[in-house]
A and B are shown apart, each in its own frame.
Chain A
Amino acid sequence: MIAPTPITLTVNGETVAAQVEPRIHLTDFLRENLGLTGTHIGCEHGVCGACTVRLDGEIVRGCLVLAVQADGKSVETIEGLSDSGALDELQAAFRDRNALQCGYCTPAMLLTAHELLARNPTPDRATIREHLSGNYCRCTGYQAIIDAVEIAARARAGAKS
């Protein structure tokens, strides 16, 4: 028998304490234990990017992080970032450019694009493409997503000046 391990972490700013089996990955923990279903699961092998969350401020593959590894750390999901308004320009641009169809990839795309813009406020299209290359979209063909990120970058730059 493997006893569950106690963990304490913050999720979207709130402290969460739980007992988890070591094999439970972070995305399952967020979805199953906390009901935060905005983080999606596609391949569970680190390939598709649907499970993207922020761990101590960095985007990671939630399916390749164990919940026990997040003990003591800060996790942010699409729910938290969306409520905080941090994604406003990106969300507006995705809507305006039809950069989503089924929406399955969208939360992760937003988090990934958000990280890029934080590092590099004015990326060119090649850089956007490269940064999003680890996020699969089965619907849009990507062009509209690249457009939306470019537009959101401009909107953010405009808001600052």
Chain B
Amino acid sequence: MINFQYARPNEVADAVRQIAADPRARFIAGGTNLLDLMKSDVEQPSRLIDISRLPLKSVEETPDGGLRIGALVPNTDLAYHPLVESRYPLLASAIMAGASQQLRNMASTGGNLMQRTRCYYFYDIATPCNKREPGSGCSAIEGLNRMHAILGTSESCIAVYPSDMSIALAALEATVRVMGPGGERTMAFADFHRLPGDTPERDNNLEPNEIITAIELPPQGFAKNHSYLKIRDRLSYAFALVSVAAALEMDGEAVKEARLALGGVAHKPWRVEAAEAALAGQPANEASFAKAADIVLSGAKGFEHNAFKIDLARRAIIRTLTQAANGTPQSQSSKKIR
């Protein structure tokens, strides 16, 4: 790992000033993704701006009955927060499905949003990768692509965005609050992450001189009918091959409102509003769920090693919606899928 300057601002405005002054500087929060990438020389910052002690660590109720989560709230604290456990259990569950306790203790909310792809070629600086080095080519399209995307891919990049937490945040329609030299702005969660297109080097729409300050959740938490199902190569401690966050508002035996977001399948959390709309007013049964799954996956395209994900995703969607409708969310400690 190269050496670098280290600074630790005490105020958000100061952190923004420092990042704006040096295009090769990076923020470090928990460090669990950035330091790993630096050890592989994928990231070679001139300076680390340690934001981990900025006053962005609180979880507060908002006047409209929602929740504001500071960007530096550790993943563990968020998952165990009483208001999250009781009102947004889908979010708690998705966080607990990821990484391990030591990592969740360090990992921050903002850093989790910003975590980069686990594409093997992105990590291996000896291979071409458009995300790491624009214009060098994509090694995965013709290479090993078992973990790669089946939706929203481009000829430049077929990488997957690996966060579990963000899949729940997408389903819950969170808002991202960011601060730049010109002040604060907010982005709908759906607008935060990007598809690769011909600029795969950009994972999201945060500007290089901006900092995430908070995530806001609307009041509707779907606490009764939800589930986060993560399918992976091992029962625990592996990134998702496919994951599904489902949240339902029920009206007796029928679905009144549905939210559905997929992880492990695209360059961003994958949500298809037409599929959610198709569930509204329908009986909560396998036929309705299968129809929604088909809408979500229309246009899915497999590569040499990952075509299995299409069928896996279809079955995972049906299973997760069933768990949500029955009020029996997937347990993240006993991994039995019911």
**Which positions in A face B, CB cutoff 8 Å?**
2, 5, 21-23, 25, 44-46, 49, 52, 55, 58-61, 64-66, 68-69, 71, 112, 115-116, 124, 126-127, 129-131, 133-135
Contact = CB atoms under 8 A, between A and B. Distances in A.
Contacts of A22: 3-6, 48
List the 7 closest pairs (A to B, CB-CB), nearest first. Answer: A134-B100, A22-B6, A133-B236, A133-B237, A58-B105, A126-B334, A2-B3
Interface residues of B, number: 33
A66 B101 CA distance: 18
Interface in B98-146: 99-103, 105-106
B99 to A, nearest CB: 7
Contacts of B302: none
B291 to A, nearest CB: 34
A112 B100 CA distance: 10
B52 interface: yes
A45 B39 contact: yes
A30 to B, nearest CB: 15
Interface of B: 1-6, 8, 28, 30-32, 35-36, 39-40, 48, 50, 52, 74, 76, 99-103, 105-106, 236-237, 332-335
B333 A126 contact: yes
Nearest to B32: A64
* Interface of B, helix, strand, loop or mixed by DSSP: loop
Contacts of B102: 49, 52, 59-61, 112, 134
Contact of B106 (A64, A71, A115): A64
Contacts of B31: 64-66, 69
Contact of A23 (B4, B101, B103): B4
A137 to B, nearest CB: 13
